[in-house]
Structure 1
């Protein structure tokens, strides 16, 4: 079974307009509402690719119920903690000549709520996969990534972490199965600039030395690199296409990697290719990647 954790899920209200004038009435030319959050995106793409997962996290109020309903429309299971105070946040994504985001706060999460999440995580079995992704809201302990990974360490669970800086570095002693920084995040950890596929390899290996089993580096138009625990170093340029929306592309890469790994029964090259093409398929579309889009890109991949 595959599980994802999103600490602060959202409804993303996306609008497009030709030009936004501050202080004036602005009329949009397009609008949509989608469930948001990195783990949420992973679960949706997994569902699109034909794999079941359960999305965990904290929701509240009528917006929390709507997130659950929308996830169901994608065929994704949810097992959220229902928080008593506040409501799940609405994030507004304004796409005009310049892009602007206005992100909500989210519900008040108590120690009791956190313990309820731990109890759900304790039911995960050996051989299952858990994806922890995204930022940590201020109402949660700043070391919650470490608390979760240390709690699950040694139980044979494939933990995947997609986070920045200390959130990522601090889980390495607990040997996550996969970490997925992009090249900028990897460079920020070591205070270097990394712009090509060859340059990321030594730094990915250093994260392996600190405890990561596999390191997948997404590099937008430059493609991706996988430094695998079996010694393989896989590199590829990105599939050709026009970027429509990069939001969710990294999460889609994680979902694609899991799909490829599961379907090939542990072949890293298959997982790498599937991850790269799934991330690209989401970037080339206004929505998250679907199986036909991914398979079409796989046929073009060199």
Structure 2
């Protein structure tokens, strides 16, 4: 079974405004509402690719109720913890030439709430996969990823971590199955500016030496690099298309990779499907559908990737 954790789910209110003007009344041309949060994005794309999964996390208030209601229509299960104080976030994504985001705070998550999460994690067993992604709310200790991995250590659970800098560095001791920094985050972790693929591969291997089993490094328009636990290095290009959306592309890559790996155990296939899923979302207004993902998968295959 696959589980995702989203500590701070949201409703993403996405609006398009023609020539947004600060300090004036602006009218929207288009409005959409999606479930937001990196873990929920991963869950959605996994379900799109035919992989059932369960979303864990914290919700509160009327917005939390709406997130839970919408998840039921997205093809995966949820087992959220209902928090008493505050409400789940509403994130405003303004598209008008450039993209502008205004993200909410989220509810207050108490120690007892976190204890309930651990109780749910007790249900995981050998062979399950857990995906931890996104930032940590201010009301939770920022070592929560480490504590979860320590709690589940030695239980045979494959853990994927998609986070930044210290959140990522501090979990390496527990040997995550997969980590996914981008090339800029990788450089920041070592205090260097990475100029070439060879440098990216070098520092990715250093993360392996620190404990990561597989390292997937996304490079935006330059594709991605995968360094596997078997010592192989795969490089993947990007298919052709027009970028329309930056939200959820990285989460889609994680979902595609996991789906591809579970399908047949091939890292090359997993990287190709992950790259196709990430690109398909970038080329869409929202998270990509299966048809678009598989079309780009075939394109990458034809191009020799």
CA–CA distance in structure 1, aligned partners of residues 109 and 297 of structure 2: 42
Which moves more between the two structures, 214-223 or 189-198? 189-198
TM-score (norm 2): 0.97
- 1:259-278 CA-to-partner distances (Å, cap 9, x unmatched) read 101111x2111111111111
1:30-109 pair list within 5 angstroms: 30-109=30-109
CA–CA distance in structure 2, aligned partners of residues 298 and 75 of structure 1: 22
1:106-255 pair list within 5 angstroms: 106-255=106-255
Gaps of 5+ in 2: none
Which residue matches 1:18? 18
- 1:163-206 CA-to-partner distances (Å, cap 9, x unmatched) read 00000000000000000001111011011222443321010100
Q: Is the 8 Å Cα contact of residues 4 and 54 (structure 2) preserved in structure 1?
A: yes
Q: Secondary structure at the match of 1:90?
A: strand
Q: CA deviation at 1:294?
A: 1.3
Which residue matches 2:284? 285
Q: Secondary structure at the match of 1:31?
A: strand
CA–CA distance in structure 1, aligned partners of residues 236 and 192 of structure 2: 22
CA–CA distance in structure 1, aligned partners of residues 289 and 21 of structure 2: 36
Q: Is the 8 Å Cα contact of residues 197 and 222 (structure 1) preserved in structure 2?
A: no
Q: CA deviation at 1:214?
A: 0.3
- 1:120-158 CA-to-partner distances (Å, cap 9, x unmatched) read 112111100000000111000111011011111111101
CA–CA distance in structure 2, aligned partners of residues 106 and 191 of structure 1: 32
Which residue matches 2:295? 296
Q: CA deviation at 1:75?
A: 1.0
The alignment yields a C-alpha RMSD, in angstroms, of 1.0
Q: Is the 8 Å Cα contact of residues 224 and 276 (structure 1) preserved in structure 2?
A: yes
Gaps of 5+ in 1: none
CA–CA distance in structure 2, aligned partners of residues 195 and 150 of structure 1: 35
Q: Is the 8 Å Cα contact of residues 236 and 271 (structure 2) preserved in structure 1?
A: no
Query: Runs of at least 4 residues of structure 1 off by over 4 A?
Result: none
- 1:59-116 CA-to-partner distances (Å, cap 9, x unmatched) read 0011001001111111121000000111101011111133221111111111110000
CA–CA distance in structure 2, aligned partners of residues 99 and 236 of structure 1: 27
Q: Is the 8 Å Cα contact of residues 81 and 113 (structure 1) preserved in structure 2?
A: yes
CA–CA distance in structure 2, aligned partners of residues 179 and 153 of structure 1: 16
1:242-281 pair list within 5 angstroms: 242-264=242-264, 266-281=265-280
Aligned length: 301
Q: Is the 8 Å Cα contact of residues 197 and 235 (structure 1) preserved in structure 2?
A: no
- 1:5-63 CA-to-partner distances (Å, cap 9, x unmatched) read 01000000010111222222110101100000000100000011111010000000110
CA–CA distance in structure 2, aligned partners of residues 163 and 77 of structure 1: 23
